[in-house]
Amino acid sequence: MSIPAIELMTTLRSGHSTSPRLTWYGPDSERVELSGRVLDNWVAKTGNLLQDELDAEPEMRLGLDLPAHWKSLIWALAAWQLGMETVLDGSEAELLVTDKPGSVTGKYDAVIAVALPALAMRWPGDLPAGVIDYAAEVRSHGDILMAHADPSASGCAIAGSDGQRHLHEGLLTGFSAPHDEGVRLLITAADGLEAALANSLGAWQNGGSVVLAHPDVQLTDHLLAAERIQGK
């Protein structure tokens, strides 16, 4: 069964396979650019990690304790491909993805630590017992994602910070933000993960692409011109 998030990834994988779809500007002059094909590859590997190691299935809840970041978008997209619910408000979830594994409170079936630097091949330092190291594990998983169980369009896709819930069938109509066709959209990470997700989905479904900038990045005229962003 197909749901909008799956159809979106199919479009990004086929219709925009070599064009930039997600560009990240981070601290220390970090720049990461993902084409449609590379974005799909990261989503597939992450989704397979969820299925193969964590027995993820439709309607399971995945807590995203992450800032607005390119890896955060990957995790949300991977979860949605499997019909999972992403939880942004810190409420109950079976699985937790976090960049702060040492400060986790609450009980989870599994905790996954995400090192945010682009070149990180593993978590820098020791992890609490039982915590999974995303950077060390993700690359060993398959490049094609085939869900073990059919996701339900009537299942919840996201529980927002305001408590509002959006179903998978309405992810691209009720949750995503409207944007012009082919937009090259600047998103500031300071606005938070929920805004980054809504705006990215809105840009992608209209053939656009996203530039996501860390709060510490200076948005100079040179950067905006280089990324073909009109205004900000």
Q: Where are the domains of the chain?
A: 4-226
Number of Cα atoms under 13 Å in the Cβ half of residue 136: 11
**Rounded to whole angstroms, what are the CA distances from 166 to 85, 155, 163, 179?**
9, 9, 10, 19
Position 1 confidence tier, pLDDT thresholds 50, 70, 90: low
Position 162 confidence tier, pLDDT thresholds 50, 70, 90: confident
Tell me the pLDDT tens digit for each residue of 28-64. 899 999 999 999 999 999 999 999 999 999 999 999 9
CA distance 189 to 212: 6
Q: What is the pLDDT of residue 163?
A: 79
Position 231 confidence tier, pLDDT thresholds 50, 70, 90: low
CATH code for the part of the protein at 4-226 = 3.40.50.12780
**Rounded to whole angstroms, what are the CA distances from 74 to 13, 78, 119, 220?**
14, 6, 16, 27
